[in-house]
Each structure stands twice: as C-alpha cells, then as structure tokens.
Amino acid sequence: MHLATLASGSSGNAILIGEENRNLLVDCGITVKRLLANLSMVNTSPLQIEGIIITHEHMDHIKGVGALARKLNIPVYATQGLWDVMEGILGYLKPEQQIRVQKDICLAGMKIRLIPTSHDSKESYGLKVTGKSLTLGIATDSGMITEEMHRNLQGCDAYVVEANHDLQKLMHGKYPWYLKKRISSNYGHLSNVQLAEALCEWLMENSQKVVLAHLSEENNTPELALSTVLGILRKSQARNRFERVKIRVAPRHYPDELIVLRE
C-alpha cells in the first residue's frame, strides 16, 4: 500500500492512496493543473487514478473535483448527503460518474470505511483504508475525536491525520473571535494536543508512519506540530509500544514523498 499527500491545509487538500498500480484520490481541493503537476512529482500517471472519494463539501476539499473528474473521465464517490450539497458546485458529471456510497465500499482493490468526523459541514468523514494486508487511517477536519474515529482508527499501519493548530497560538493570534471559536469548537479542527492524545491510544506495534496534515498557516508551524506531538508521545506510558513510528508533516502546497508501506 502507498500514500502521498499532494496538498494539505486550508488552501487545498488531496491525498493519493493506492495499492500496486491502482490508485484513488481522497478529495481534490486544488486546481487540475496543480493536481496533475503534483501527481507527476510522485511519479504517478493520472491514467492510474480510478476515482475520487470525497470526505466533505468544503471548497478546500472539492474545488478541483468536477474539473478533474471530467478531464480524466473518472467517477466521484460520495454519500447521498454530500451529493445533495455538491451537485451545483462540481458542474456537469455524467450519471455514471456520480456514485453514491454508504459506509463500506470496495474501490481500486481496497476496502474503504467511512468514519464520521465532527465538523461544520453537511457531513464529514475520515477513512479507514484496508489493502491486502495493511491499513491506513485518514482523518482531517474534525473538532473532536468522535466515538467512531476512536473505534476504527486504532492500530493502523499508517495515518494521515489532522494537527491543525496550536491552541495558544490560535487564541492569542489575530483571527477574529468567531473564527477562533469555530476552529476550537467540537465542529472545527483538531489541535496538536488533541491529535497527540488520540495517537497515544491508536498507535500499536505495527504502526509505521504518521503524516500530520491540514496544518493552519496562521496558528501552527510544522516544527511546533511535530514537537508537540512527539513530546506527548514520548511522555506517554505506552511509548514502548510505538517507539518505531516515524512522524512527518505534510507540506502545504506540494506533494510529500510517496510513502510505501511494507508488511
């Protein structure tokens, strides 16, 4: 199984996931031009993309979805609730490109489970992706760790998870009060500490990689996210269980390296 964030943060999100030469995109919140450029930087042909699965309808996740689906003639997978709010935004798609999905689906040879997150959108989901023998947990855009996230995301081999903000930086920063309230609410985004505390419970001996994603440009820095998460993991009583895990930060505008998970 392999993965790469292609862009990450409020200026646009897209994640490439796949097994062998079958690939899917999770969201496409950047332009087609950028998506194709970033895809080539991880040596993946657009012809190998079998579809786009949508986590939620915010523009930083769907801005390029319609245009990319038309260009590559690939389907878009989303729940009925998300289709209800996206149809006007994505532009024309052939009926066979508009696929309604429910909780568990099989796409590009991988099993995908939608995991409800807590966010101020119509609906929002994280994903648990199960390949032939490895699992990947993806969860961004959640104001809290939901019961479903907790239940489904333990013991994955790799993670792409949100470390959006440092709470002190957010609260003392220049955002207006309503935005501070929104971001820190249960329907906003996960802080570095919230994520780190969840990781202390999720990471197991098999866990190899964690990619910190969707960092705020204003209220976080890659160094701060990394040091906060590492600090909390190192203090955890369970630290022996996950001392081999490697943690990295997803770049905002360009792709991260292609991570290939090994059994």
Report if residue 60 touches Zn ion, rule: CB under 5 A.
Answer: yes
Contacts with Zn ion in 75-114 (CB under 5 A)?
A: none
149: left (phi over 0), alpha (psi -120 to 50) or beta: alpha
- The site map against Zn ion for 2-41 (x = CB under 5 A) is ----------------------------------------
Residues listed for the chain: 263
Minimal CB distance residue for Zn ion: 58
Stretch of 33-41, 57-65, 160-168, 191-199 contacting Zn ion, by CB under 5 A = 57-65
| β-pairing verdict for 158-162 and 125-130 | unpaired
- Cα–Cα distance measured from residue 98 to residue 202, given in angstroms and rounded to the nearest whole number: 34
- The site map against Zn ion for 195-234 (x = CB under 5 A) is ----------------------------------------
**What is the number of other CB atoms lying within 10 angstroms of the CB of residue 240?**
8
Nearer Cβ to Zn ion, position 130 or 194?
194
Nearer Cβ to Zn ion, position 15 or 107?
15
Report if residue 141 touches Zn ion, rule: CB under 5 A.
Answer: yes
- Cα–Cα distance measured from residue 214 to residue 109, given in angstroms and rounded to the nearest whole number: 27
Which residues neighbour 243 within 8 Å (Cβ) at sequence distance 6 or greater? Answer: none
CA-based nearest residue to 6, from 39, 55, 40, 53: 39
Which residues neighbour 133 within 8 Å (Cβ) at sequence distance 6 or greater? Answer: 263
Report if residue 58 touches Zn ion, rule: CB under 5 A.
Answer: yes
Number of residues that bind Zn ion (CB under 5 A): 3
Q: How far is the CB of 121 from Zn ion (least distance, A)?
A: 6
Contact residues for Zn ion (CB under 5 A)? Answer: 58, 60, 141
